[in-house]
Amino acid sequence: MKKFFLFFTAFFSALGSAFADGGPKEWQMNFRPAATPTMEKVVAFHNFVNPIIIAIALFVIALMTYIAIRFSAKNNPKPTKTTHNTTLEIIWTVIPVLILVVISVPAFKLLYFSHYNPNTEMTIKAIGNQWYWSYEYPDHGIAFDSNMLCGTKEECDELDKETGKKHVRLLDVDEPVVVPVNKKIKIISTASDVIHSFAVPAFGIKIDGVPGRAQDTWFEVINEGTYYGQCSELCGMLHGFMPIAVKAVSEDKFNEWVQNKKAAASNNLEFKKVEIINN
Ligand SMILES: [Cu+2]
């Protein structure tokens, strides 16, 4: 057990630096720090609902414990013959309804906020394939595939030595999705073979990629850095090996990246995978 724990400590501290927010922490109990307004609202909603859930669970446990003792055959040998109590029926119907109404108002607000934003400034299309992601930037005319870099510690160490950079096992990819910070980005998700799901926990987004359908949501990254996600719909043998890496950079750096990508695609030198979309 101790070895197991030490392994995790070492593992997470080793990859800590690659995460935008320092990575997972020891004894972490809550969500990862929010990277988008959507995730901030998700965290706030969680903090609002969780105490209600805990209070209800404690109340039910206390009530059941009390009843089990107070009305046991030993303590209550002559049980009452009551079958109905209208006041009680009304109370235990109305109170849960009120609680649900109180929860549903912020829940619907969050649902609408996170689902759709009419003011998105650019679009990215994420296409799930067995087992990697393809990305298209229709506004900029670029497209590329994104594959996982290393699956085992040995592979990652090897890569680290080669590039002098730390690589996150099972999460780092050769071509991350690059986005500008403080821009509302529409993400359209679809798939080429089976159902996949584009999910980035720090962004508070998860949207299924379904073949033949295009579904969209949006996000706006607040701080620069690299954020990770994984395919979140079981899609076959290598489902666990098609990570998502989003690199949020300043607008200037983003434009530079777009230019480089386009140049590389037209020269067809460095980035073999990049293709220019006909626009
Ligand atoms: Cu998948």
Clarify whether residues 72 and 181 are in a common domain: no
Q: Which of 100, 115, 130 is the last residue of a domain?
A: 115
CA–centroid distance, residue 229 to ligand 1 (Å): 12
Residue 32 confidence class, pLDDT cut points 50, 70, 90:
confident
Amino acid of residue 6 = L
**pTM for the whole structure:** 0.81
Q: Which range, of 17-26, 101-110, 114-123, averages the lowest pLDDT?
A: 17-26
Compute how many other C-beta atoms are within 10 angstroms of the C-beta atom of residue 23: 17
Task: Report the mean per-residue pLDDT for the chain.
Answer: 89
How many structural domains are present in the chain?
2
CATH assignment at residue 70: 1.10.287.90
Question: What value does the mean pLDDT take over residues 73-86?
Answer: 91
Cα 237 to ligand 1 centroid, rounded to whole Å? 9
User: Which residue would you say has higher pLDDT here, 235 or 31?
Assistant: 235
Alpha-carbon distances of 277 from 39, 149, 180, 189, 261, rounded to whole Å: 32, 25, 20, 17, 12
Cα(234) to ligand 1 centroid in Å equals 6
Q: Does 14 fall in a domain?
A: no
Q: Ligand 1 centre and the CA of 123: distance in Å?
A: 21
Quick one: pLDDT at residue 179? 97
Ligand 1 geometric centre to CA of 219 (Å): 21
The answer to whether residue 10 is domain-embedded is no
Q: Are residues 72 and 150 in the same domain?
A: no
Judge whether residue 276 has pLDDT over 60.
no
Q: What is the pLDDT of residues 234-251, one digit of tens each?
A: 999 999 999 999 999 999
Region of 137 (left: φ > 0; alpha: ψ -120 to 50; beta: rest) is beta
**What pLDDT does residue 2 have?**
52
Q: Does position 216 have pLDDT exceeding 50, yes or no?
A: yes
C-alpha distances (whole Å) from 152 to each of 93, 170, 174, 196 are 54, 8, 16, 23
- 238 CA from centroid of ligand 1 (Å): 8
Mean pLDDT over 61-73 rounds to 96
**Does 13 have pLDDT greater than 50?**
no
Pairing of strands 243-249, 177-180: parallel
For residues 136 and 224, membership in a common domain is answered with yes
Q: Which domain holds residue 254?
A: 122-276
**Closest listed residue to residue 49, CA positions, set 123, 122, 114, 109:** 109
CA geometry: angle 167, 199, 128, nearest 5 deg: 85
Q: Are residues 140 and 213 in the same domain?
A: yes
Taking each helix axis as running N to C, give the angle between helix 37-70 and helix 86-115, from 0 to 180 degrees, rounded to the nearest 10. 160
Rounded Cα distance, 56 and 67, in Å: 16
Q: Are 59 and 128 in a shared domain?
A: no
CA of 56 to the centre of ligand 1 (A): 37
Instruction: Return the pLDDT at 160.
Output: 86
Ligand 1 center from residue 147 Cα (angstroms): 12
- Ligand 1 centroid, distance to 191 Cα (angstroms): 9
Same-domain status, 199 and 110: no
Q: What would the pLDDT profile of 156-182 be if each residue is shown by its tens digit? A: 898 888 888 888 899 999 999 999 999
